[in-house]
Amino acid sequence: MNASHNLRAWSEWSDAPPPPEASGCVEAEYVDERGSLAYAQVHRMFPDGVETWGHITGSYRTEDLKYHHPKYYRWRYVGPLVPSREAQGKAILVWKFYDAPGELRALSKHGGDEDYIGLVPHEGEQPSWMESGTSFGCCDVSEHRYEDGRLVYIGAHA
């Protein structure tokens, strides 16, 4: 992960950690075992039944999967920036779920079955091609209000 491409401001972990629903939608800064500043996409984890924030390195395929739970100092959302209302204009914007801004991904309650996110202007309405049962969300489409009044639709396959 290259944190230098993320233009968002940092939030101090000590002031307020990310909201629980932001799991997987944020990156955090910490000091690694070599004493260097490091960045990781962080998730809510439940090791030994205790809810905490952490990140993973390695993979199951290479059999070097490792869970980390360092002291994180700062955090911010990942992905592209949410376009301003002015920049969006009257356009409807659609992303594949994992390509969407972290702020929008964090609105999802689908639990990992998401396919697409649509951002509809404040004055707009849900287009028929974004309804449940369509390729946008074959099983379910949830509606959310973004902080500035725009509508966010999240399509899921389960």
What is the pLDDT tens value at each position of the chain, 158 positions in all? 455 689 999 999 999 999 988 999 999 999 999 999 999 999 988 766 778 899 999 988 999 999 899 999 999 999 999 999 999 999 999 999 999 999 999 999 988 889 999 999 988 889 999 999 999 999 999 999 999 999 999 999 98
Closest to 27 in 3D by CA, of 42, 15, 43, 37? 42
Number of H helices, E strands in the chain: 2, 10
pTM attached to this predicted model: 0.87
pLDDT of residue 111: 84
Phi and psi dihedrals of 64, rounded to 5? -125, 30
pLDDT of residue 118: 98
pLDDT of residue 46: 75
User: What is the layout of strands, in order, in the sheet containing 114-120?
Assistant: 93-96, 114-120, 151-156, 140-145
pLDDT of residue 50: 73
